[in-house]
Amino acid sequence: MSLSDEDGYDLWLRYRKTDDAARLTQYRDAIKRAVVLGASATAEIIRRELARALPVMLDRAVPILDQPDNDALIVGTVDELKTIGVSIPQNDSRNLGDDGFIITSNLQSSISDLRIIIAANSASATLTGAFHFLRLLQTHQDIRALDISSRPRIRRRILAHWDNLDGSIERGYAGRSLWNWDELPKTIDPRYHDYARAGASIGINGTCLNNVNADSKSLTTEYLEKAAALADAFRPYGIRVYLSLPFAAPIRLGGLRTNDPRDPAVAAWWQRKVDEIYRLIPDFGGFQVKVNSEGQPGPHDYGATHADGANTLADALAPHGGIVLWRAFVYDTNVDADRAKCAYKEFVPLDGKFARNVFVQVKNGPIDFQPREPFHPLFGALKQTPLALELQITQEYLGQSTHLVYLGGMWKEVLDSDTMEIASSQSFDSAAQSAAPLKTRRAMTRVAQVVDGSLYDHADSCVIGVANTGTDRNWCGHHFAQANWYAFGRLAWDCDLSADAIADEWIRLTWSNDARVVGAIKTMMLGSWEACINYMTPLGLHHLMREQHHYGPDPGFNAAPRPDWNNVYFHRADARGLGFDRTRTGSDAVSEYHSPLREQFDNITTCPEKFLLWFHRVPWDYRLRSGRTFWEELQHRYNAGVAFVEEMRDIWQSLQPRIDPARHAHVSARLEQQLENAREWRAVCLDYFGKCVRS
């Protein structure tokens, strides 16, 4: 079998001839022509996409029409369909909201009489529905009896770009920024449309263009006009633009003497700036804000609260329908000596004091995008304030664009975590009790229910992913890093999807529908996250990476200007043991979780071993459930992580005849680098901790 080289630019929108003979026959019989209703820019995008995809997948010409035809695939809004006599039941259309879509296929006397309809209430949702239908064809699904009604669980699904105005990307590992600010607004790179096309295909509807550590120039008229040009390019794809703002802009740009959000002159300045933005970008989404964190100025500099700062901005945005995404990534250890507790202590007293259009934006865990963290205790603690979940697609702490680490499982673990917000009588006082059936448990209160707004009855909802895109031809640096961009979009749309199902889908779209390829790659992907944890930070270890760039191991680092920037602060290894004591007799971080979860975490015998060192200081000779001592188990985990990378390398090598040479060679080289780095992690960490054991 001879395969042509591919460069990965097409991502999961990689249309190829259907190589399943039965499915090809079915598709050819069912799709003789397509009709796309409407004259909008979005309708034209749908026409182009169908014209691009269908002739290739069906291996024959497929006319794309703009007039009704009884024997065709028909795509249009509910209102447009009415004009040609096609009626969508009112309840169905109402349930779709602005973003949902319907795909139905009505089989008549034979497959050749099949009528397929893709409908939505808005043109952008119709585009998402069209992409979903093409995905069915790409993955060889049966289309004879489709009855799909799909609506996103989370309203705002945003990619956040930590891109700087000079073209660099903070925590970017795939080249430079996609946004060429020097050429904007006059030059619109075709790649902007390809970026928006990829986002729309997985339901992403927002993009925050600039770094959370924002440059004041981003709010100047010059740069707002550049942002407006991008907004114009993205709008037909249903994607709205957001901006990270510099809190100090009133002084730096406005010439004021203060940035105090309570000052009427500051509020007036923000109102004028917001009005200017909406004149240029009528559908502007809002601001993402990082303050009083890692040297950034903020309301605390003036004795004001986070709510004071957020609400001043919210008041300016509210008349236009904009929102504030106020990041909870704050860790002033003057608030608490345990960095993991700081955000909770700062934000819980402010619950109910934020304006209605403010989200508190919370990372998945309480430290900082580590390979594994327990879910952030703010999920389940703030009830009157909607929370936006912040995930990191770019692998800052997980091998960056060198390591193959599929993050679908990480995000599902967080989304599926039970906050136990409504206490039950179930106790976790002993291992025996923790293993008993939870007969008295109430319905789960998952993090996903906090994020989608359903648990506390919030009308708006938001999830944000820190993007991993750049100017590399394959977009993400590593061909497999594309899977995390894809998984973020799919989970943002439907957080009940499984990591397995998303991986299966992405593999078929990106690599092959060959069952041998799908099975082999899925084995690699589904085991890769746990392997990364094992060779980096097993059993609840965290923050062992090298300073600044965060790549590679350095457990002994202890030269930072403040204690909580040192790795030894987090693991506290010595001759007696290892781990951060966050029990009630330690920092008491466990008490930020609801009962009975706090009791489970607090008890070393019931604490999940994946979080053991996060919550407990463990003696080296403590015996784990495996029967091994803690030190033996730590060695076992590091060895298991390296062994799985070796297995991934061997699996990938076995696929060489079934993968195009260029992409196979690229991934092979990355896997060799990953294996070398995994072995380094094992050697450095076991050597360091071993000296503690032997001391």
Q: What is the CATH number of the domain that holds 597?
A: 3.90.1330.10
**pLDDT (tens digit per residue) in 130-157:** 999 999 999 999 999 999 999 999 999 9
Looking at the structure, tell me whether residues 268 and 142 fall in a common domain: no
Looking at the structure, tell me whether residues 416 and 552 fall in a common domain: no
pLDDT band for 386, please (50, 70, 90 cuts).
Answer: very high
Phi first, then psi, for residue 120 (nearest 5°) are -160, 170
pTM for the full predicted model = 0.96
Give domain status of residue 659, yes or no: yes
- What is the predicted pLDDT for the residue at 108? 54
438: number of Cβ within 10 Å: 11
Looking at the structure, tell me whether residues 168 and 238 fall in a common domain: yes
Last residue of a domain, one of 92, 123, 150: 150
DSSP string, 399-458: TTTTS----HHHHHHHHT-B---S--S---SSHHHHHS--TT-----BHHHHHTSTTTT-
Please say if the pLDDT value at position 23 is more than 90.
yes
**Buried-exposed string 667-682: b where 16+ CB fall within 10 A, e elsewhere:** bbebbeebbebbbebb
Give domain status of residue 332, yes or no: yes
Q: Nearest CA to 677 among 649, 644, 653, 642?
A: 642
pLDDT band for 467, please (50, 70, 90 cuts).
Answer: very high
Give domain status of residue 39, yes or no: yes
- Distance, CA of 396 to CA of 176 (rounded, Å): 16
- Distance, CA of 546 to CA of 457 (rounded, Å): 42
Active-site annotation holds for 633: no
- Distance, CA of 180 to CA of 91 (rounded, Å): 45
Residue 462 half-sphere exposure toward CB, CA atoms < 13 A: 31
pLDDT band for 428, please (50, 70, 90 cuts).
Answer: very low
Find the mean pLDDT for residues 639-664. Answer: 98
Active-site annotation holds for 396: yes
Please say if the pLDDT value at position 30 is more than 50.
yes
Average the pLDDT over each of 5-9, 143-147, 288-292, 676-680 and give the range with the smallest value.
Answer: 143-147
Q: Which of 10, 232, 315, 368 is catalytic?
A: 368
Q: Which of 225, 276, 294, 621 is catalytic?
A: 294
Find the mean pLDDT for residues 565-584. Answer: 98
Looking at the structure, tell me whether residues 249 and 388 fall in a common domain: yes
Angle subtended at Cα 362 by Cα 357 and Cα 367, rounded to the nearest 5 degrees: 160
Find the mean pLDDT for residues 421-439. Answer: 44
- What is the predicted pLDDT for the residue at 87? 86
Q: Nearest CA to 227 among 163, 171, 168, 303?
A: 163
- What is the predicted pLDDT for the residue at 124? 98
High-pLDDT (> 90) share of the chain, %: 92
Please say if the pLDDT value at position 419 is more than 50.
yes
Average the pLDDT over each of 121-125, 427-431, 622-626, 643-647 and give the range with the smallest value.
Answer: 427-431
Contacts of 239 (CB under 8 A, 6+ apart): 196, 199, 200, 204, 205, 206, 207
**Helix and strand numbers, DSSP H then E, in the chain:** 22, 16
- Distance, CA of 171 to CA of 551 (rounded, Å): 11
Looking at the structure, tell me whether residues 168 and 37 fall in a common domain: no
Q: Nearest CA to 403 among 298, 512, 536, 266?
A: 536
**pLDDT (tens digit per residue) in 175-214:** 999 999 999 999 999 999 999 999 999 999 999 999 999 9
pLDDT band for 491, please (50, 70, 90 cuts).
Answer: very high
Last residue of a domain, one of 117, 150, 183: 150
Q: Of the ranges 91-95, 115-119, 677-681, which is most confident? A: 677-681
Reduce the DSSP state of residue 150 to 3 states and report it. strand
Last residue of a domain, one of 442, 474, 509: 509
pLDDT band for 440, please (50, 70, 90 cuts).
Answer: very low
510 within 8 A of 504, measured Cβ to Cβ: no
Q: Number of structural domains, the chain?
A: 3
Alpha helix segments (H runs only) across 139-217: 190-201
- What is the predicted pLDDT for the residue at 307? 98
Give domain status of residue 525, yes or no: no
Determine how β-strand 240-245 pairs with β-strand 206-208. parallel
Averaged pLDDT of the chain: 95
Strand partners, 463: 157, 389
Residue 145 half-sphere exposure toward CB, CA atoms < 13 A: 1
440 within 8 A of 428, measured Cβ to Cβ: no
Q: Nearest CA to 483 among 505, 462, 461?
A: 505
The Cα-based distances of 606 to 58, 437, 600 in angstroms read 56, 14, 5
pLDDT band for 2, please (50, 70, 90 cuts).
Answer: confident
Looking at the structure, tell me whether residues 389 and 296 fall in a common domain: yes
**pLDDT (tens digit per residue) in 362-380:** 999 999 999 999 999 999 9
Looking at the structure, tell me whether residues 456 and 589 fall in a common domain: no
**Residue 376 has what DSSP assignment?**
P
Report residue 307 as tokens: 């709510």
567: number of Cβ within 10 Å: 23
> At 56, which amino acid appears?
V
Reduce the DSSP state of residue 546 to 3 states and report it. coil
Q: Which of 6, 396, 581, 599 is catalytic?
A: 396
Looking at the structure, tell me whether residues 137 and 165 fall in a common domain: no
- Distance, CA of 354 to CA of 234 (rounded, Å): 30
- Distance, CA of 198 to CA of 194 (rounded, Å): 6
**Residue 163 has what DSSP assignment?**
B
- Distance, CA of 111 to CA of 107 (rounded, Å): 6
Give domain status of residue 221, yes or no: yes
Q: Nearest CA to 40 among 12, 70, 79?
A: 79
Looking at the structure, tell me whether residues 434 and 579 fall in a common domain: no
Please say if the pLDDT value at position 439 is more than 60.
no
221: left (phi over 0), alpha (psi -120 to 50) or beta: alpha
Find the mean pLDDT for residues 528-539. Answer: 99
Give domain status of residue 5, yes or no: no
The Cα-based distances of 493 to 99, 265, 385 in angstroms read 10, 41, 22
Looking at the structure, tell me whether residues 502 and 559 fall in a common domain: no
Q: Of the ranges 114-118, 253-257, 441-445, which is most confident? A: 253-257
- What is the predicted pLDDT for the residue at 1? 53
362 within 8 A of 388, measured Cβ to Cβ: yes
Looking at the structure, tell me whether residues 114 and 188 fall in a common domain: no
**pLDDT (tens digit per residue) in 337-360:** 999 999 999 999 999 999 999 999
Measure the CA dihedral 292/297/298/300, to 10°.
70
Higher pLDDT residue, 115 or 430? 115
Phi first, then psi, for residue 171 (nearest 5°) are 65, 35
Give domain status of residue 9, yes or no: no
Q: What is the CATH number of the domain that holds 57?
A: 3.30.379.10
pLDDT band for 413, please (50, 70, 90 cuts).
Answer: very high
Active-site annotation holds for 346: no
Average the pLDDT over each of 78-87, 267-276, 310-319, 673-682 and give the range with the smallest value.
Answer: 78-87
**Helical pair 661-694 and 630-654, crossing angle rounded to 10 deg:** 170
pLDDT band for 442, please (50, 70, 90 cuts).
Answer: low
pLDDT band for 67, please (50, 70, 90 cuts).
Answer: confident
Please say if the pLDDT value at position 436 is more than 50.
no
Find the mean pLDDT for residues 632-646. Answer: 98
171 within 8 A of 206, measured Cβ to Cβ: no
Strand partners, 466: 160, 392
Looking at the structure, tell me whether residues 430 and 468 fall in a common domain: yes
Q: What is the CATH number of the domain that holds 329?
A: 3.20.20.80
The Cα-based distances of 170 to 173, 213, 565 in angstroms read 9, 9, 18
DSSP string, 572-622: --BTTEES---STTTT-GGGGSPTTHHHHHHSTTTS-GGGHHHH--EETT-
Q: Which domain holds residue 74?
A: 21-150
Q: Nearest CA to 443 among 414, 415, 420, 426?
A: 420
Give domain status of residue 516, yes or no: no
- What is the predicted pLDDT for the residue at 90? 79
